[in-house]
Amino acid sequence: MKDPARELTELEQDALQEIMNIGFGSAAADLAEIINLHVILSVPHIAVLESHEVINFINQEIPDTTDMSMITQFFSGKLNGGSFLVFPHGEGRKLLKIFDGEMSLIGDNYDIDLLEKETLVEIGNIIIGACVGKIAEMLGDVVTYAPPRFFGQDQIHETLHSVVQSSDSFAILFKTVFDFEQYNVSGYLFLVSQYSIMPWLKQAIAEFLGPHA
């Protein structure tokens, strides 16, 4: 049986899609303007899924995580949940170019995997901050973040499972593909939230729609 309180109506789903489009657009513009990071964020895909469906969905999108790196960051506010930034392993290396000119500090005795990890954490959390922050802002909320965490390869599935399963049985999933133009790097951003935000979310969407609805 479907519980209407657990579902987004078509209108609400469209509105949320719109909010995400505007939010990601302005996040990308800010990233370019403020920190000179040019990112293309694809039109996000939104779905309200049960937890096992979330896992299936992510499995379908990324069938093989054995060669992936993931940054997770949890956020809390009225909008709360987790964000997962997933890159193919090795792609993060290209982002090291961002630190061009500062790499001399590091010297030659470094571990490239370690640097990739640190770069992904540093850059990833700015992207997450921009995207999540914008959506929250458009929904009239301000979120705070927990420190970012890095997971490599075989740790990814386990982490996703434990996160999705511990959150209450429903999840609202947002997926976008992003592209760093300058560095030829792309990956996925998933935001997973809990069913418990639904009443607030419905109301925030109604406020966004305002007199048009």
Contacts of 106 by beta carbon, 8 Å cutoff, 6+ apart: 115
Residue keyed to tokens 């961002």: 98
Show the site string, 65-84: x = touches other proteins by CB under 8 A, - = not. Answer: --------x-----------
What character string, x for contact with other proteins (CB under 8 A) and - otherwise, covers 91-110? -------xx-xx--xx----
Q: Report which secondary-structure segment, H or E, holds 151.
A: strand 149-152
CA distance 19 to 42: 14
Selected range binding other proteins among 12-20, 35-43, 48-56, 57-65, rule: CB under 8 A? 35-43
Going by C-alpha positions, the residue among 34, 29, 180, 33 that lies closest to residue 119 is: 180
Which residue in 35, 40, 43, 112 binds other proteins (CB under 8 A)?
A: 35
Which one among 69, 72, 119, 176 touches other proteins, defined by CB under 8 A? 119
192 binds other proteins (CB under 8 A): no
**Which of 8, 148 has the CB closer to other proteins?**
148
Residue 134 burial (10 A CB sphere; 0-12, 13-18, 19+): buried
* Contact indicator for 149, 155 with CB cutoff of 8 Å: no
Contact positions vs other proteins (CB under 8 A):
27, 30, 34-37, 73, 98-99, 101-102, 105-106, 114-115, 117-119, 121-122, 125-126, 128-130, 133-134, 142-148
